Structure formats: structure tokens, C-alpha cells
A and B are shown apart, each in its own frame.
Chain A
Amino acid sequence: MDSVAKRRRRTFSVFAVTFLILFIFLILDLSQAFIPLSFEDAFWALLGQGSDTNITIVQQMNLPRVIMTILVGAGLGIAGAVMQALFRNPMASPYILGLSSGASLGAAIGLTFTVSWLPSLLLTPLLAFITCMATLFLVYTISNVGGRVPTETLLLSGIAVGSLLSALVSLLTYVAGDQMSGIVYWTMGNLTNAGWDNIIIVAPLMFAGCFIMVSSSRDLNAMMLGDAHALDLGVEVKKVRLQLLVASALVTAAAVAFVGVIGFVGLVVPHILRIVMGPDNRALLPASLVGGAAFLMMCDYISRVIAPSIGILPIGIVTSLIGAPYFVYLLRRRRDEVGWS
């Protein structure tokens, strides 16, 4: 029983550390302004204390972006963890498999064209979800070889489909006339323009998707051993898998719909956490939520600290600068060293 207690303690410390990182960068990110506030001033302004200017900076200028960062980071983190377990593949993530690009195509269509019967604010995430689901099934079908999904074909088909879709997004923004800023916005992500109206739409979608994921985490553990094992343990494998795929697409679409494609969060975060806390999804999925939010918050802060001289730095550049080398590291390492053999 000793080791059970030891593991519980380790899980607790992982959560404590990730929450602490999230908190620190959350306050730092809230302090951002032409002349940044001090850490304490930003903290008190968040609670509604201090000068009116401070409160305006924190609560009106920065808070919507920070909340969107939490939602998007958490969603991409947990979606990555779920997809890695579902595909039994350490390289799976919404970005690598082209899902983010798929969702961004739908979102770009939703923002470019208007229909009379649905406001753009609802049409955008809806289309993002539809194209994201379609991409998921396309990539899965291409890479499925006789019931198995080998890493190589999964990565290659994900990258191929993803490139095609982001080319279509670029084409669309080019044709629509909003050439440079639009393309950068969709392929590199931009949290700056996130407003409360977007958050009200994204938050419930995220909550629904994450609830499905966390509630299936025990079934997902059994499915990691193989479908036959899970069936023998009484899991309705087909039903649970479909639920989780839909939830992953929902969360990815919600993450991408208003802020564009932000890469590598779903790859890096679950990986590091899995090394520290093991493969048990009941701990890993909630930890990936918090960890994803903390990681993206940190990246947003970094993008703002280097930004002043060059304007707004798309956050996807920061996540890619950190994530891509980590991806290469994963490709090179023996898989058992990162918790997979």
C-alpha cells in the first residue's frame, strides 16, 4: 500500500506545481501593458483593488485574452492526451494529425462567408467542428492498416492532410482579400482579439468535451491495452471510442474557432506529464487540462515579453519554437524512455 500512497503524493505534487506555474504566468500575463504593472498590482487589480487604470488594464484589456488562453491551452492539452491513448501512439495530437488545420478551414469559411440564418459567432465553431470531424475520419482512414494505426502512416497522413488544409485556408484568406494578417492569424494563432462574446461560445463546448473525456478515463486505460482487453473488461469499445473522437474534435474545434492554429500544446504537455506521473488517464487527463493551460499561458507571456519591439508575435511561433525540438527529441528517443515501449 506504500507505493499507492507514494503515487498519490506524486500526483498531488504534479497538480500543485502546474497550478503554481499557471498562477504565476496568469498574473504576469494580466500585468501586460505599454508599461507593465508589478506582479502585486496585477494580482490586486484582478480582485478589483487598486487604481482604476490598473483595473482597466487587467480586467478589460487582458482578462478576456487570459481566459481564452486557459480554455484553449486546457482543451488542446487534454485532447492531445486522449488522442495519444486512443491511437496508442505517443505522437498523436490535434496539431500533428491535421485536426487543428481542419478546424481552422471551417472557421475561416465561417468568418469569410455569411449566411442569413445563423450569426457568424455560431456558424464559425459549427463549421470548425464539422471540418474537424471530417479531417479526423479522413486521416484515420488513410492511416488505418488492417485495424492497426502505425506511427509512420499516422504522422505522414496527418501532416499531408494538414498541409493541404492549411494551404486551403491560406488560399481562402488570400481570395477574401485579407492577405497577410489573415494567413498569419489562422496558421500561427492569435489570442489578442479574443473577447467575451467568443468566450461565451467556447467555454461550454470545452466543458462538454472535457467532461466526456474525463468521465471515460478509466475505460480509456483499458483501451490502451488493446480493444480485446477492453471488451473483456466490459467496455463498449466502439461507443466509447466514437464518443472520445467526437469530444476531441469538439474541443479542437472550440480551441481553433476564434484563435486559429496553435501547435504542439497537445503533444508536449501530456508527454512531460506522462513521464512524471505514469500512463493512468484518470490522473493524466485532468493534469493535462491544467498543464495545457499553464504551458499556453507561459507561451503567451513569452510572446508578449519579446513582442514590444516587433508588434504582436503570434503565439503559435512560441509554441512551435518550444514544441518542434521536443517533437524531434521524441522521434529520436527510445520510446520506452518516455513511458511507451
Chain B
Amino acid sequence: MMEIKDLRFSYREKPVLDDVDLEIRPGEILGILGPNGCGKTTLLKLLNRNLHPQGGKVLMKGTDIEEMSKKHIARHIAVVPQSNEIRFSFSVRDIVTMGRMPFLDSFRGESSDDLRIVEEAMEKTSVSEFADRPINTMSGGERQRVIIARALAQRPEILLLDEPTLHLDIDHQFEVLDLVKRLSDLEGLTVVIVSHDLPMVVKYCDRMVLIHDHKVFAMGTPQEVLTKENMRTVFNIDAVLEYDGTLKEFIVKIIGSCRKV
């Protein structure tokens, strides 16, 4: 679906990403994991050309995204950004309708098809009931669902989520990611989640990429990537990945910090 080749990026003289290579496969949920400040969010911004790489390429279905217009990219890639605070009294429906922007010209209004797609997106994320409420009166979890609805209204093939659980209460964290997982299973949506939330990524991602020292440190299934040594090197924690027989899934057991106090 997407290929990233020798990607380099630095803010002023400070390197953020150095020779990053990775592949995003169709229909998978890929987790990009690493400690705060490791360049995860920058990587996400490079994927839909909110930033331009200083070296290397981002290919979508074989084409360099530098050769595409922003509008064209937005027809294939939708983003749920990290901070979703909105200060204006746009209604929920207004916000979700903005998801149709990449498909419209300046003076063309939304067609009935567009409006149907918007209503569907709101139903999938269960925000229809407050379609007419102003977005600035809603809670963080509700807003997150509205932004996901907007992303779905773009009818994307690829969904990028930046720290989707950061500002949410624990029940909302699971709610949001269950939703994303369901959409990926049902509609074959390719999902990339950037997070520093280890247990969350283990629970939901098919494959993961561990970023450390501006480079791809490890890539593969959680079992391959989350070895005791890797978690010690990257996160400075003493932790093990264990199979839980009752849950029938892998969980991360965190024993403690490796830092000497």
C-alpha cells in the first residue's frame, strides 16, 4: 500500500528521522511505537506530506507522493490528529462534512451522495445522535469519534492515527480502538497507529515498528519486536511479552524501570 524508502528529516540541524525504511501492507493495522520525542509524529506527518522529507521517498501504490496534490493525497489518506481541540461552534455534522472537501471544487456544494456518505460515517462511529450539537461542547472521547467520522467520510484506503488514546479516559481508549479494529476487519481499511502506549499497541496491531535513535530499530509481529532486550533498550523498562491463556492474546507485563534511582 505504502512504501517508505531511506526517509530522512531534521528540524534545523537536529536529526529527527534517519534512513527510515518501512512498508505498510494493505488491510493491516501497523503500530509505530517509540518513546516520546523519537520522531513518530514526524513520520506520520511525512506520510501524507504535511511535511516534506529532506531525503528519501514516500510511495503510495508505487507513486511518489511529492508528485501528487494535497487534495489527491487526502482522497486516499485520512488522519486523526493528536490534538482535536476545536474552539468554534461548528456542528458535528459540519465537521464530518469537511471530510468530503478533497472531492469538491470551490463553488460546488455537497451532492446527495456526499451527504449520504457523511450520515453513514456518523452512524458507524455512533455520533449521529448529536449531529447538530456544537463540537466545542463535547468531551474528548466524543470529539475523537467525530474526527474519526470525518476521516471515514473521506472514504480513505489508509487511516493514520496519532496517539489516539492520549487524552482519553481508559474506557474511551478501548472504545476508540475497538471501533478502528472493527473498521479494519470489516472494510479492509489499512490503519497506521502512532503511539507510545505499549499495551494498547500490542492488543490492537498486527505488526509493529519500533523507532529508536531516529531509526527503525525493529519491525515485525509483537512477538518478534517486543523482546525483553528491545524493550530495555528503547523504553528503559524491565518487561516481558506473555501469552495470556484466559484472554487468548499477548500482553505486556511491565515489571519496572531499568533506570537506577
Which residues of chain A have C-beta atoms less than 8 A from B132's C-beta? 3
Question: Footprint of A on B, CB under 8 Å?
Answer: 48, 50, 69-75, 78-79, 81, 83, 86-91, 93-95, 98-99, 101-102, 104, 106-107, 131-132, 136, 154
Asked if A9 is at the interface (CB within 8 A of a chain B CB), the reply is no
Report the Cα distance A231→B47, complex, angstroms. 12
Asked if A195 is at the interface (CB within 8 A of a chain B CB), the reply is no
- Select from chain A the residue with minimum beta-carbon distance to B86: A225
B107 contacts A235, C-beta separation under 8 Å: no
Report the Cα distance A216→B105, complex, angstroms. 10
Which residues of chain B have C-beta atoms less than 8 A from A340's C-beta? 87-89
A279 contacts B98, C-beta separation under 8 Å: no
Report the Cα distance A228→B106, complex, angstroms. 20
A233 contacts B81, C-beta separation under 8 Å: no
A336 contacts B136, C-beta separation under 8 Å: yes
Report the Cα distance A225→B79, complex, angstroms. 14
A278 contacts B89, C-beta separation under 8 Å: yes
Report the Cα distance A228→B162, complex, angstroms. 12
Closest chain B CB from A282 CB (angstroms): 8
| With A3-B132, A228-B81: A221-B90 Cβ-Cβ less than 8 Å | yes
One of B69, B89, B101, B106 near A233 (C-beta < 8 A)? B101
A221 contacts B107, C-beta separation under 8 Å: no
A224 contacts B88, C-beta separation under 8 Å: yes
Closest chain B CB from A217 CB (angstroms): 8
Closest chain A CB from B9 CB (angstroms): 16
| With A215-B106, A228-B50, A336-B136: A234-B88 Cβ-Cβ less than 8 Å | no
A218 contacts B50, C-beta separation under 8 Å: no
Which residues of chain B have C-beta atoms less than 8 A from A279's C-beta? 88-90
Which residues of chain A have C-beta atoms less than 8 A from B86's C-beta? 225-226
Report the Cα distance A226→B50, complex, angstroms. 13
One of B48, B70, B87 near A235 (C-beta < 8 A)? B70
Report the Cα distance A3→B91, complex, angstroms. 10
Interface residues of A in 1-56 (CB under 8 A from B): 3-4
Asked if A236 is at the interface (CB within 8 A of a chain B CB), the reply is yes
Which residues of chain B have C-beta atoms less than 8 A from A221's C-beta? 90, 94, 98
A234 contacts B102, C-beta separation under 8 Å: yes
Report the Cα distance A340→B87, complex, angstroms. 6
Closest chain A CB from B47 CB (angstroms): 11
Report the Cα distance A280→B75, complex, angstroms. 23
What are 5 A-B residue pairs whose CB atoms fall within 8 Å in the complex? A215-B107, A219-B101, A225-B98, A226-B83, A233-B102
B70 contacts A339, C-beta separation under 8 Å: no
| With A215-B107, A224-B88, A228-B81: A234-B74 Cβ-Cβ less than 8 Å | yes
One of B48, B89, B95 near A339 (C-beta < 8 A)? B89
B88 contacts A232, C-beta separation under 8 Å: no
Which residues of chain A have C-beta atoms less than 8 A from B93's C-beta? 3-4
Report the Cα distance A341→B91, complex, angstroms. 14
Report the Cα distance A256→B82, complex, angstroms. 43
Asked if A290 is at the interface (CB within 8 A of a chain B CB), the reply is no
| With A3-B131, A280-B94: A233-B88 Cβ-Cβ less than 8 Å | no
B98 contacts A341, C-beta separation under 8 Å: no
B90 contacts A232, C-beta separation under 8 Å: no
Report the Cα distance A185→B78, complex, angstroms. 53
| With A234-B73, A234-B74: A216-B106 Cβ-Cβ less than 8 Å | yes
Closest chain B CB from A3 CB (angstroms): 4
A88 contacts B87, C-beta separation under 8 Å: yes
A225 contacts B50, C-beta separation under 8 Å: no
| With A225-B86, A225-B88: A232-B131 Cβ-Cβ less than 8 Å | no
B81 contacts A232, C-beta separation under 8 Å: yes
Closest chain A CB from B46 CB (angstroms): 12
B87 contacts A341, C-beta separation under 8 Å: yes
